[in-house]
Amino acid sequence: MHELIYLDNAATSHPKPEAVYLAMDAALRRGASPGRGGHQQALSAERMVFEAREALADFFNADNSEQFVFTPNATLAINLALFGLLLPGDRVVTTCQEHNAVSRPLRALQDRGVSVVKVPAGEDGVVSAAALKQACLQDKTRLLVMNHCSNVYGAFQPVEDLGPWCREQGILFMVDGSQSAGCLPIDFQALQVDLFAAPGHKGLLGPQGTGFLYVRKGLQLTPLIYGGTGGSSHSDLPPEHFPERLECGTLNTPGLAGLKAALGFLQQVGVDKVRAHELQAIEKLLVGLRAIPGVKVYGPESALNRGAAISFNLVQHDPAEVGFLLDQNHKICLRVGLHCAPDAHRAIGTYPGGTVRVSPGYFTTQQEIDTFLAAVDAFAQKASSR
Ligand SMILES: Cc1ncc(COP(=O)(O)O)c(C=O)c1O
């Protein structure tokens, strides 16, 4: 029997580049708290955190690394942005494709008087730019917030078109890049985003416990969390400047050392090459799954319009059963259910049971995909002969 096959990269990428493990180990052994002391060890930790921020700014072609606020995950980054920005009476447009990391804060804000308009997707899971623009123009809109790529069926959303349009209209534009950061070339200057949130632990290949919020220079947010920032200690008010305004408490230094190493790895390989590798895997999975009788694949037809999250079901089978048997009998790790995005399932008729989601990553091999497809095929054949 083969080793374990990991096809759950949309949840968190695995494995990480070797340099990530080494950098984290070294940082933990070095110790010291960044920004919290003038001794050499603390200064060296601070320098490393600065370099990690610079690496992010370089990776996303952002104007200024200070505008990157480190968080433990994408969820906190999204919460910092939405709660820091929106006030009762504001109007927000979003999509029916969002992860609960966006939908739940918006729901909480709705209960406080923010008006939230959700635009549905077409059958392929793509929300049309025209429909979003129309919704934005129906009334005075403060913010358009949406994901770049669905975590359920990988549909790319038309963010490239919407960023510049929002800027023209004076509408703030926020992207949840949880499923695209590290998997696709992303340029903040071209995208014209005001806010961009992403985890460090998915496509960016960093460790869990890392993430960030990018805030366009000049946009002020009310902090969500208050506390020590290492400087301006005389004041009981949070500092005005970034990133400290939104970033307080001791940072995850080993995690950020890992994230910095992961960004170095991605820069060395090149995101184009990462995308090309994942695209090959997505194509192989789409062709292979669609050829198995009884399998229904959701999301855009073409691999070119998708990221690396592929949802499918075996007709008349509970996805939980399929996932359980693939794990138990074939040591294949993937995710089943609603994937924290219930609206996306309502759109394709897979609510409440959900789907089986297979998500390859940069380290997934063709051989692993063949083994996975053979296992699904065997399951489908056995099921049809019962
Ligand atoms: C689209 C999307 N947004 C947000 C998140 C939340 O990410 P994190 O677990 O890092 O908070 C995820 C994670 O699955 C996601 O897929």
Residue nearest to atom 12 of ligand 1 (CA): 178
pLDDT per residue over 147-163, tens digit each? 999 999 999 999 999 99
- pLDDT higher for 230 or 209? 209
Q: Please work out whether the CB of residue 210 comes within 6 Å of at least one atom of ligand 1.
A: no
Structure confidence at residue 357 as a pLDDT band (50, 70, 90): very high
Tell me if 105 CB under 6 Å of ligand 1: no
Top mutation candidate among 340, 343, 357 for ligand 1, by most atoms within 8 Å of CB: 340
Q: Which residues share a beta bridge with 175? A: 146, 196
The one-letter amino acid code at 212 reads F
Ligand 1: does its nearest atom lie under 6 Å from the Cβ of 200? no
148 lines ligand 1 (CB under 6 A): no
Average pLDDT over residues 111-125: 95
CA atoms of 256 and 108, how far apart (whole Å)? 30
Residues 30-71 pLDDT 10s? 988 898 778 999 999 999 999 999 999 999 999 899 999 999
Minimum-distance ligand 1 atom for the alpha carbon of 202: 10
Give the whole-number percent of the chain exceeding pLDDT 90: 85
Task: Give whole-number Cα distances, 153 to 17, 168, 318, 345, in Å.
Answer: 26, 31, 18, 10
Task: Report pLDDT digits (tens) over 229-264.
Answer: 887 888 888 888 899 999 999 999 999 999 999 999
CATH no. of 5-15+270-385:
3.90.1150.10
79 CA distance to ligand 1 middle (Å): 12
**What span, in angstroms and rounded, lies between the C-alpha atoms of 307 and 305?**
7
Q: Is the CB of 74 under 6 A from ligand 1?
A: yes
Is the pTM higher than 0.85? The answer reads: yes
Which pLDDT belongs to residue 293? Answer: 95
**How many other β-carbons are positioned within 10 Å of the β-carbon of residue 3?**
7
Banded model confidence at residue 134, pLDDT cuts 50, 70, 90: very high
Predicted confidence (pLDDT) per residue in 212-229, tens digit: 999 999 999 999 999 888
Q: Which residues contact 106 (CB under 8 A, 6 or more apart)?
A: 82, 92, 94, 98, 114, 116, 145
Task: Say how many Å lie between the CA of residue 166 and the centre of ligand 1.
Answer: 24
- Token pair of 97 as six digits: 């494709």
The pLDDT of residue 233: 83
* Letter string b/e over residues 282-295, b meaning 16 or more CB atoms within 10 A of that residue's CB: bebbbebbeebebb
Q: Is the pLDDT of residue 310 over 90?
A: yes
Fold annotation for 18-269 = Aspartate Aminotransferase; domain 2 (3.40.640)
Mutation probe of ligand 1 site: the residue of 179, 213, 259, 339 with most atoms within 8 A of C-beta: 179
Give 337 or 366, the one with higher predicted confidence: 366
**Which segments of 181-304 are extended strands (E)?**
195-199, 211-215, 295-297
Nearest to 71 by CA among 284, 223, 262, 179: 223
Q: Where are the domains of the chain?
A: 5-15+270-385, 18-269
On the question of pLDDT at 186 being above 80, the answer is yes
Distance of CA 48 to the CA centre of its chain: 24
Q: What does pLDDT average to over the chain? A: 95
Decide the pairing of beta strands 310-314 and 295-297. Answer: antiparallel
C-beta separation of 73 from 267 below 8 A: no
Residue 24 pLDDT:
98
3-state class of 171 per DSSP?
coil
Strands (E) across the chain are located at 5-6, 68-71, 91-95, 115-119, 143-147, 172-176, 195-199, 211-215, 295-297, 310-314, 332-333, 335-337, 355-358
